[in-house]
Amino acid sequence: MNAQLCCQFRQWALLVVFSFLQACQTPAEKPPENLIPEAKMAQILTEIHLAEARVTKMNRASQDSNTLIYKHLEKQIFQKYKVDTAAYSQSYKYYSSDPEQLAGIYKKVTEELERRKKPVDTTTTSKSRLPARLKNLKK
């Protein structure tokens, strides 16, 4: 699992680097009318990366099946956040034109993914219930 997360982080890092390189070549753009706010964009990107990881983990033999599953998950994400593909694409292109802004968004994405990755501490819960279970067994 850690190897898979490491691989995913490498993919995200490559995406960010590629976006930076692409941004260096394009002039500053005007924000699109349907620009998705940074915080919402970070939430959407988090969900998209989780969907990509889910599809990758399924390890289907057919690339077509993977693509169909991913497109379905992506559509659900866009519906959840009430955005369309055009707004997402235009917003991503706009944010990609400013490396610092995109880095800030991806910092939020990474923080959220790290937050979700942390295991739940069940040791305190199970220890506090253990004596009650033992008392019930003695009766």
Residues 47-98 pLDDT 10s: 999 999 998 888 777 788 888 999 999 999 999 999 999 999 999 999 999 9
- Residue ranges of E strands in the chain: none
- What are φ and ψ of residue 35, in 5° steps? -60, 130
Residue 32 three-state SS: coil
How many domains does one find in the chain?
1
For 15, the enclosing helix (H) or strand (E) is helix 2-25
- Residue 41: which domain range? 2-138
Predicted local confidence at residue 89, as pLDDT: 95
Predicted local confidence at residue 19, as pLDDT: 67
Residue 17 three-state SS: helix
The rounded distance, in Å, linking the Cα atoms of 13 and 53 is 15
114, 47 Cβ separation under 8 angstroms: no
What predicted TM-score, i.e. pTM, was given to this entire model?
0.65
Asked if pLDDT for residue 20 goes beyond 70, the answer is: no
- 94: tokens are 């706009």
Predicted local confidence at residue 58, as pLDDT: 83
Rounded mean pLDDT of 110-138? 65
Return the closest-CA partner of residue 41 out of 97, 83, 100, 86. Answer: 83
- 39: tokens are 């915080």
Asked if pLDDT for residue 129 goes beyond 60, the answer is: no
